[in-house]
């Protein structure tokens, strides 16, 4: 894979900072350093240089790193400029780079895409990088690092190699079947046994209760209950910021409001919803429709009810799915505020009971996410592995003709190849890398 363009992009965020890093990758990387900060430094050692415009005008005092390919992140010649972190410095250097022939600004994810295309990492490792950058909690960081380290990629590669071996065996048997010296029955038994072993391992990985996806996407907790039960006030108290509008007019939370938080290292998304009641206008009706949609997808519903005196006669309908019942406003001293095992009494105003509620949510999240050592972290992986398992199931269902067995094996190998990115699906790559940041 030979690229002719040389990419450059800031690798650090756009805010004012002590240092800002610009990355350069491609065939002209050495020429860029020679143009802005000659001579070329010793590979992989930082050198202090004055960066200058072609007319000699100084741009900045910077540390320059030169990382010749193929042993670089992208596999190409690369350079890094560690500038002073001012916005004007960065803008001036980016402008100077844009004027160097063959250089162009990088799209989001362009460096990782080149690393992938040059075989420096497989698709699951590239996703691991994206997840590591997006990781907000400790458990997410650990999971992303495991994926970047190749935990999923290695396992998929192992299954794929074993299936390719089986396929080679079947194809050889097909080639020699006319010669009458191949024992078909013996081959079938050995093939089935080895295919079944792989099939069972894939099935075991798939039966992970979606732990990896939950950890990556967050454990969703929907705060539900009638208007004025105290949902918005609780969300604010829990997230310790004014994220939701609190108001004593029923029906003010007309949309769904989300707050991401870190409970014991696990990512939890708290969702405040429009009150569940008969809508008085179209906007509120839409809010209620969204509430029901979020409740249907929730990992946990925290069902709030005001004190007895505030409750209407009809009980809130059972939303289905896992529910935690909470009695709000226990500071008012109305009704029965005793903590029974099924219901946690809280006051968002005084903070009473909030620790107990958080501990209960954290326990549910920990139970759902488990130890977080799942291999599958995205729907994409799950689809590929499920397809592979289905092809193996078909293979194992009967005593197939060798031609059909070969076809099932080929499709199973292909499904694994898609997970690792061996089977290039250009559109999927575009979507995936567009989700990265610029400079990565
Ligand atoms: P929502 O409609 O369920 O989101 O309810 P809000 O959070 O907007 O609260 C409705 C009213 O109840 C507001 O006037 C809040 O100040 C009040 N409220 C909420 N939580 C508490 C609480 O713990 N104690 C008391 N005394 N009032 C509360």
Q: In the predicted model, what is the mean pLDDT of residues 326-344?
A: 75
Which residues have any ligand 1 atom within 6 Å of their CB?
227-233, 246-248, 253, 275, 328-329, 331-332, 347-349
pLDDT for 105-159, tens place per residue? 999 999 999 999 999 999 999 999 999 999 988 889 999 999 999 999 999 999 9
Ligand 1 mean position, distance from CA 296 (Å): 25
In this predicted structure, which of 186-200, 241-255, 314-328 has the lowest mean pLDDT? 241-255
216-225, 274-283, 315-324, 412-421, range with the lowest pLDDT: 274-283
* Ligand 1 nearest-atom number relative to CA 251: 2
Which value, in Å, is the radius of gyration of the alpha carbons in the chain?
29
What residues have CB less than 8 Å from 21, skipping those under 6 apart? 10, 11, 12, 80, 81, 82, 83, 439
Instruction: Provide the 3-class DSSP secondary structure of residue 120.
Output: coil
Gap from CA of 440 to ligand 1 centroid (Å): 45
CA 433 to centroid of ligand 1, rounded, Å:
44
| Tens of pLDDT, residues 377-405 | 999 999 999 999 999 999 998 766 778 88
Q: Dihedral sign, CA of 160, 162, 163, 164?
A: positive
111 CA to centre of ligand 1 in angstroms: 50
Distance 233 CA to ligand 1 centre (A): 5
Ligand 1 atom, smallest distance to 275 CA: 2
- Tens of pLDDT, residue by residue over 351-376, are 899 889 999 999 999 998 877 689 99
Distance 328 CA to ligand 1 centre (A): 8
Q: Is the pLDDT of residue 314 over 60?
A: no
Residue nearest to atom 9 of ligand 1 (CA): 230
Q: What is the residue-averaged pLDDT of the chain?
A: 85
* pLDDT for residue 437: 77
CA-nearest residue, atom 22 of ligand 1? 329
| Cβ atoms 180, 258 nearer than 8 A | no
* CA 285 to centroid of ligand 1, rounded, Å: 21
Instruction: Please compute the mean of the pLDDT values over residues 19-37 and round it to a whole number.
Output: 96
Question: What separation in angstroms does the CA of 375 have from each of 145, 211, 407?
Answer: 12, 9, 27
Residue 238: Cβ within 10 Å count = 24
Global pTM exceeds 0.95: no
Phi/psi at 375 (5° precision): -85, -35
pLDDT of 299 reads 92
**Gap between the Cα atoms of 329 and 303, Å rounded:** 14
Best mutation site among 222, 227, 228, 230 for ligand 1 pocket (most ligand atoms within 8 Å of CB): 230
Place 334 in a pLDDT band, splitting at 50, 70 and 90: low
Closest-CA residue, ligand 1 atom 19, reads 230
Residue 36 confidence (pLDDT): 96
């Amino acid at each position: 894979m030979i690229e002719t363009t040389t990419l450059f992009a800031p690798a650090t965020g756009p805010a004012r900072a002590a240092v800002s890093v610009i990355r350069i990758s491609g065939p002209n990387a050495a020429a860029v350093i020679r143009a802005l900060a000659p001579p070329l430094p010793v590979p992989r050692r930082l050198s202090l240089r004055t960066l200058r415009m072609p007319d000699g005008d100084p741009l900045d005092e910077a540390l320059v790193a030169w990382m010749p390919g193929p042993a670089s992140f992208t596999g190409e010649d690369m350079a890094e400029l560690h500038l002073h972190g001012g916005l004007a410095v960065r803008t001036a250097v980016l402008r100077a780079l844009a004027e160097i022939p063959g250089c162009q600004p990088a799209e989001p994810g362009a460096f990782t895409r080149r690393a992938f295309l040059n075989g420096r990492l497989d698709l699951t490792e590239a996703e691991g990088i994206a997840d590591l950058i997006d990781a907000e909690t400790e458990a997410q960081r650990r999971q992303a690092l495991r994926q970047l380290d190749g935990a999923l990629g290695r396992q998929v590669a192992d299954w794929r190699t074993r299936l390719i071996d089986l396929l080679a065996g079947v194809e050889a048997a097909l080639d020699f079947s006319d010669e009458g010296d191949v024992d078909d029955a013996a081959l079938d038994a050995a093939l089935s046994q080895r295919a079944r072993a792989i099939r069972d391992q894939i099935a075991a990985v798939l039966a992970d209760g979606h732990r990896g996806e939950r950890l990556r996407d967050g454990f969703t907790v929907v705060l539900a209950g009638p208007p004025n039960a105290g949902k918005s006030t609780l969300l604010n108290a829990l997230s310790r910021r004014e994220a939701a509008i609190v108001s004593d007019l029923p029906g003010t939370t007309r949309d769904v409001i989300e707050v991401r938080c870190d409970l014991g290292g696990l990512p939890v998304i708290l969702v405040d919803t429009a009150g569940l009641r008969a809508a008085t206008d179209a906007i509120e009706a839409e809010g209620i429709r969204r509430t029901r949609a979020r409740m249907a997808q929730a990992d946990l519903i925290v069902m709030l009810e005001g004190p007895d005196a505030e409750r209407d006669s009809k009980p809130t309908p059972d939303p289905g799915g896992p529910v935690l019942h909470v009695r709000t406003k226990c500071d008012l001293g109305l009704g029965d505020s005793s903590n029974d095992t099924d219901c946690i009494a809280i006051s968002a105003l005084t903070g009473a009971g909030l620790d107990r509620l958080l501990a209960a949510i954290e326990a549910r999240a920990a139970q759902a996410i488990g130890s977080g050592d799942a291999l599958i972290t995205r729907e994409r992986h799950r689809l590929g592995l499920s397809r592979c398992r289905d092809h193996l199931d078909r293979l194992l269902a009967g005593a197939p003709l060798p031609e059909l067995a070969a076809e099932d094996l080929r499709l199973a190998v292909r499904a694994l190849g898609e997970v690792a990115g061996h089977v290039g699906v250009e559109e999927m790559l575009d979507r995936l890398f567009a989700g990265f940041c610029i400079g990565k």
